[in-house]
Structure 1
Amino acid sequence: MAPSSELPADYYLSNFHALVDFVVARYEALLSDDERQFYRQFRALATDSQRLYVRLLSRKGVPSSAGALFRQHKLAYGEISDLPAAVEELVISGLLQRNPSLALDEILPLFTKHELLASSPEPLAKTLKRPAVEQALLAQQAAPIQDALTVDEPLLAVQAAAHFETFKLLFFGNLNQDLTDYVLRDLGLFRYERYPLEREQLPFKSRAQIEQHLRYYDCLAEAEGALAADAAAINALAAQLPVGIDGDRTLHRRLDRLRLTLARQLERFEALDDADALYRLCSRPPARERRARIALARGEAAAALALCAEILANPLNEAERAFARNFGHRTAKKTGDGDTWPPPRRHKPPTDTIALPPNGARVELLAAEHLARPPDDHCFYVENTLFNGVLGLAIWDILFAPVPGAFFNPFQVAPSDFRTPDFYPQRSAAFEGRLAELARGNLSRWVWQHFHEKHGIANPLVAWEALPESLLTLALERIPTQHWLALFRRLLGDISHHRNGLPDLIRFPAAGSYELVEVKGPGDRLQQNQQRWLAYFATHQIPHRVLHVEWATP
């Protein structure tokens, strides 16, 4: 699709229609009576009224007990031919409330400081800051001030916004996204893969499931205040979290993430018992790590070591395993049991140092230019794009397969569980089948097929601009199949963590083969995820080295 710089003036209304129609077509049986009524009311409105409602629903407004507030005189939209008539129809339908009964403190944020000063029965100094002006007005009689501000000035409060929240949840699967995704599509900035969205594949199966997701987002909105307050507020919020729905991995992941955040703050408040209890409800890292640290802080070294042993017997990811080895060894040394916990072995990668003159370019690009010896040696700056990209091309059809619960709407760059521990297990049979096929020498076929068929379509693993055909050709020719398979297995094992930390450069010497090069400029050090990748390369005989760059003096 060729990018377009122009959209129809009411593009947002078409997008809103697509969203609510999609939800009703697939989830009508799960909607409440009020939500179905909201949909029918909106669809029955004249076009101008629909435009105005969507405009106001999409704007922030001033929060109030009656809904998001707007001043009618401040509204101006070129595509709405008769705004007062649109307002009137929305008021009659109940989707707007005109001049709701509100306390003065809810109205003041709608007006400028100049307007507030003019509304005061008692003269106020113009030098006062806005908060001081508001406090002075609130200390006076509210009625005259309110009358002065709102005379001939209708205030509008948006109604039924909570119903649209349910529609957004059912469409996006979360309350963080908005209609911007449509705009990116319409502008041609994103092209999305096509995948089935039939009812049997959709994530939400019951009203109770919807209510629990909405409750989670209510708690998430309250979390900032609780985290800034004290342990009692955090515990009160934790007690309000939904219990979860069997089979709803998305909700369980979100609850785990919030519980981990709450528990970590409880630690900082030194409420260790409460933190430990909350961590016990979490099934994902770093819950066991934090419990081990709490146990040691309590002087319970044996309990801390038992948790480390539990992790090592069944690690959920490499970072958790590395923690258990390191923390277990240090803890055992303190207790005199160091012999039972040997120190972790650390891989020392091959390392070279070169001196290059700085010229303002990135150090990785300078190193790549140094390592490429034209015309026969080639060196590309790839960092995390090459191996992720080839994997994305090799498994494209599996990535976008219609796994139940993976896709909420037509505008997803990735399945909803892509960055989670569930990603591989949910598709393990398909992945194992594909890896076995690749082992028989079919990698190039799958890569080039998807490269040409899918070029330009969004994929979370593929950065198209970083995969020129010249690079792909050399990589597929030079890198042995067993190396590709080893790389793919580690990536798929924990794609959220392992798709980062890969070496900066790949070098193709004239003599053949290839080499991965991690570049470190002056003062730069290897990160832990980079160290783990380098150790993995050593285990699988994948050629690699670290290249330290020093600046050459004139």
Structure 2
Amino acid sequence: MSAVVELAPDYYLTNFRALVDFVVARYERLLSADERQFYRAFRAMDINSQRLYVRLLSRKGVPSSAGALFRLGKLSYVEIDDLTGAADRLVSAGLLLRDPALPLAEILPLYSKAELLASSPTTLPKTLKRQALEQALLERGGDEVDSLGVLLADDAVLAVQGADHFDTFKLCFFGNLRQDLTDYVLRDLGLYRFESYPLDRQHLPFQSRTQVEQHLCYYACLEQLDTAMEEGAEAIVALAEQLPAHSEGDATLHRRLDRLRLTLARQLERLEAFEAADQLYRQCSRPPARERRARIAAQCGEVDVALSLCQEILATPHNEAEQIFAESFGYRTAKRAKRLAGWDQPARYQPPTETVTLPPEPDRVERLAALYLQGGLPPAEVESDQCFYVENCLFNGVLGLYVWDILFSATPGAFFNPFQAAPSDFRTPDFYPMRREAFEVRLAELDNDNLARRVWSNYREKWGIANPLVAWEALSESLLELALARIPPEHWQLLFRRLLNDIEHHRNGLPDLILFPAEGSYELVEVKGPGDRLQQNQRRWLTFFARHQIPHRVLHVEWQQP
């Protein structure tokens, strides 16, 4: 059992300093004058003031037009000496604002219901709900409101300043505004270990201030998304017009803008604002933009446009799912319009299937199926059939071990900070093209010896380090030994190519089990319990196996009746 790790009381300050120092060391030329002043002001503070500031900056607080609000009298941190003095120094430095002039409506949420009732100049019913109570206090008006404000002001209110500047630091460090300092904590607790990869300036994701501003603009638009979606088509179109222009070479921003436009356009579709939706889809270069345009065209009776889009997809498919859609939707659309010339009904592969009846057990159906396939024995004796429950872990894991160095290579824009389990483009269509040459060389040299050498070397040297393809606990040595010995290199190469070409969609849907018969070779087995059916990604994998003579079958399990 691993030892319990105790973090220092102010671990958060150490992590915050590391973050802002990292950004200044690498991006100072991209920071605005106000952001550089924010950094200098913070770094000039004494340790207790720094602790208090980071504590407050990291907490939610009560939102207001002056910044997140806190009551000084309600703050208590054992590691901070002279909290009031620390607050005074932060106010002097401009990092906190004391008692900002705010409407009473923004101040009331700082206080409990009991405090508001006690502070009211006139008696109010205790049965009032919180919202009704605040509304009643605001409606009193005149001297009563002034009196209430005086009573509430007995406890100093602090408004955190500089949060918008820190957003720029977070963006430069994490590459987004969703993450926080939790990754540091997990590292400090020993829950995550990260690979060491280059973070030199020439490969940094942000190379200009314009890029930074465009990403900040994107996140400002993202904050308005829920409101726009609720308000309707006009608000959605207005939000789409606020999106920043795409920067040449900034694939991350391009992906984010595409994703947001797809979300907005899909809602416009639901609202039957088809023309506006189509216009937004036209600005997107990734799936499912062309698919949605084809569906809109067909729904609006524009059969020629719908079929033309399907033909365009078939000529230049972005991924396998898009191609399958075009084949199926194009055929159905042409059939309805009685224009089947040039459109064939897509063939649907039926994999070899076996149905077995097993006694019901509380264990997972896949593990019961594995015991059945190996004759009820655990996978231990080489003479017997051996079956392992691997699902998506085996082929992904061996690929991750085989291309480990390429995965963590110095690729422009791939790494923002030292705490990434994967390059930032890992789950995107850009992942393979950005490393195409290296991957092609590695796949071309794949043979039994080369594969085994690299896999075992990284398995032993990198054990426990985060890798998006490797689930360490699912890769036992006995499983790896059999897989590397039984699966021919041409099969590994085919599997790796398919995974790399669309890693986001293809790393799932692989068969549950791998069977190693006593006489040699191997077989992949997809298990389906009572009432379960094959999913589309599983069907695509099974079709791929059939095309390349990779042994496979589907095992349907039914329960024995009592």
More displaced 10-residue stretch of structure 1: 375-384 or 182-191:
375-384
Matched residue SS, 2:525: strand
Match of 1:206 in 2: 208
Task: Please list, as runs of the form range in 1=range in 2, the aligned pairs for 1:58-457 lying within 5 A after superposition.
Answer: 58-141=58-141, 142-151=145-154, 153-373=155-375, 374=377, 375=381, 376-439=384-447, 441-457=449-465
CA distance in 2, matches of 1:257, 1:192: 28
More displaced 10-residue stretch of structure 1: 375-384 or 411-420:
375-384
CA distance in 2, matches of 1:46, 1:73: 21
Matched residue SS, 1:546: strand
Matched residue SS, 2:363: coil
Decide which of 497, 504, 523 is 2:505's aligned counterpart.
497
Letter in 1 for 2:468: P
Offset from partner CA, 1:194-245 (integer Å, 9 cap, x none):
0010111101011111000000000000011001111000000000000111
Match of 2:25 in 1: 25
More displaced 10-residue stretch of structure 1: 132-141 or 37-46:
132-141
Decide which of 481, 488, 492 is 2:489's aligned counterpart.
481
CA distance in 2, matches of 1:67, 1:145: 22
**CA shift at 1:120, angstroms?**
1.7
Match of 1:462 in 2: 470
CA distance in 2, matches of 1:277, 1:49: 52
CA distance in 2, matches of 1:232, 1:53: 41
CA distance in 2, matches of 1:2, 1:403: 35
Task: Please list, as runs of the form range in 1=range in 2, the aligned pairs for 1:525-536 lying within 5 A after superposition.
Answer: 525-536=533-544
CA distance in 1, matches of 2:538, 2:554: 10
**CA shift at 1:2, angstroms?**
5.7
More displaced 10-residue stretch of structure 1: 278-287 or 141-150:
141-150
Letter in 2 for 1:409: N
1:168/1:3 CA distance change after superposition, 3 Å: farther
More displaced 10-residue stretch of structure 1: 332-341 or 484-493:
332-341
Structure 1 unaligned spans of 5+: none
CA distance in 2, matches of 1:209, 1:2: 43
Matched residue SS, 1:209: helix
**CA shift at 1:138, angstroms?**
1.1
**CA shift at 1:340, angstroms?**
2.1
Matched residue SS, 2:514: strand
CA distance in 2, matches of 1:304, 1:47: 64
**CA shift at 1:81, angstroms?**
1.3
CA distance in 2, matches of 1:4, 1:177: 25
Instruction: Work out whether residues 70 and 157 of structure 1, in 8 Å CA contact, stay in contact via their aligned partners in 2.
Output: yes
Instruction: Work out whether residues 3 and 187 of structure 1, in 8 Å CA contact, stay in contact via their aligned partners in 2.
Output: no
Offset from partner CA, 1:440-497 (integer Å, 9 cap, x none):
7411111011111111100000000000100000000011111111100100010000
CA distance in 1, matches of 2:149, 2:359: 69
**CA shift at 1:533, angstroms?**
0.2
Q: Does 1:545 align with 2:548?
A: no
Offset from partner CA, 1:331-389 (integer Å, 9 cap, x none):
00011112421011111000000111112111111111111233411111100000000
CA distance in 2, matches of 1:436, 1:143: 79
Letter in 1 for 2:269: E
CA distance in 2, matches of 1:319, 1:119: 63
**CA shift at 1:106, angstroms?**
0.5
Matched residue SS, 1:460: coil
Letter in 2 for 1:265: Q
CA distance in 2, matches of 1:439, 1:266: 51
Letter in 2 for 1:145: L
**CA shift at 1:116, angstroms?**
1.2
Instruction: Work out whether residues 73 and 154 of structure 1, in 8 Å CA contact, stay in contact via their aligned partners in 2.
Output: yes
CA distance in 1, matches of 2:3, 2:337: 65
Matched residue SS, 2:97: strand
CA distance in 2, matches of 1:2, 1:354: 43
**CA shift at 1:119, angstroms?**
1.8
Instruction: Work out whether residues 448 and 488 of structure 2, in 8 Å CA contact, stay in contact via their aligned partners in 1.
Output: no
Letter in 2 for 1:461: L
Letter in 2 for 1:435: L
Instruction: Work out whether residues 514 and 543 of structure 1, in 8 Å CA contact, stay in contact via their aligned partners in 2.
Output: yes
CA distance in 1, matches of 2:407, 2:134: 55
Matched residue SS, 1:340: coil
- Aligned pair count? 553
CA distance in 2, matches of 1:372, 1:85: 71
Matched residue SS, 2:555: strand
Decide which of 491, 516, 519 is 1:511's aligned counterpart.
519
Letter in 2 for 1:72: L
Instruction: Work out whether residues 7 and 186 of structure 1, in 8 Å CA contact, stay in contact via their aligned partners in 2.
Output: yes
Instruction: Work out whether residues 2 and 188 of structure 1, in 8 Å CA contact, stay in contact via their aligned partners in 2.
Output: no
Matched residue SS, 2:366: helix
* Length-normalised TM-score, structure 2: 0.97
Letter in 2 for 1:309: Q
Instruction: Work out whether residues 519 and 548 of structure 1, in 8 Å CA contact, stay in contact via their aligned partners in 2.
Output: yes
Matched residue SS, 2:19: helix
Identity between Structure 1 and Structure 2 (%): 69
Matched residue SS, 1:14: helix
Match of 1:41 in 2: 41
Structure 2 unaligned spans of 5+: none
Instruction: Work out whether residues 448 and 484 of structure 2, in 8 Å CA contact, stay in contact via their aligned partners in 1.
Output: no
